Amino acid sequence: MENKELFAPILQEDEEIIKVIKPNKTRYVYLGGLAYTLLALIPILFMAVPIGMAIESFAEHGTSTPLVIELTVFGGLILLGIITTWVGLNMSYKKTFYAYTNKRILIRRGFIGVDYATLDFEMIGGLMVNVNLLDRLMKGSDNPGTITFGSSASPVIYTRNGRTAAYAFRNIDHPYEVYRDLKHMVDEYKATKAKQD
């Protein structure tokens, strides 16, 4: 896949893009949106009985109760959140690309505008590849996964909900192959730098 011109605004003169990677759309957009939608619908399931009671009351008395109004507003907010999530994931996906050059990794992402993040090879202290359960459930692909880059400037932080990192290639196809290529390039770059110093 080309798209090297997308990184033109941040490339240095002696820098050459080796590879540009687009995240797996099914994993990035559809599974992410579906997971959020299912979580957002849980409160609606708990509201089913009160909604049924409110509708029955409305049918019998012909007036709406404050409960009906509150549930309608709450349901509308949940629906708005679901729509916003799907639109946001699609907009974000269109702008998200990852790349690596002969010197560093590049991350292009955004929602309305475009943001770039870069991490020089010499700053990379470790690489980690992760293929989780959702990744493994995807049939017909090479199980997408995430490559996380740890550095002294931006370490991988472990939280109760998993790992977070400022620098990561998320939901990419062939993560082990990309990991091997990047690991080789980082090691080679550091070895060359050490010889020069």
**pLDDT tens digits, residue range 167-180?**
899 999 989 999 99
Q: What is the mean pLDDT of the chain?
A: 82
Tokens representing residue 127 in the block: 């690489």
Distance of CA 182 to the CA centre of its chain: 20
Q: What is the pLDDT of residue 64?
A: 61
What is the C-alpha radius of gyration for the chain, rounded to an integer number of angstroms? 23
Give residue for tokens 């505008």. Answer: 113
Please give the residue that has the higher pLDDT: either 135 or 29.
Answer: 29
Query: Phi first, then psi: what are they for 85, rounded to 5°?
Result: -60, -50
Confidence of residue 56 (pLDDT cuts 50, 70, 90): confident
Q: What is the pLDDT of residue 87?
A: 93
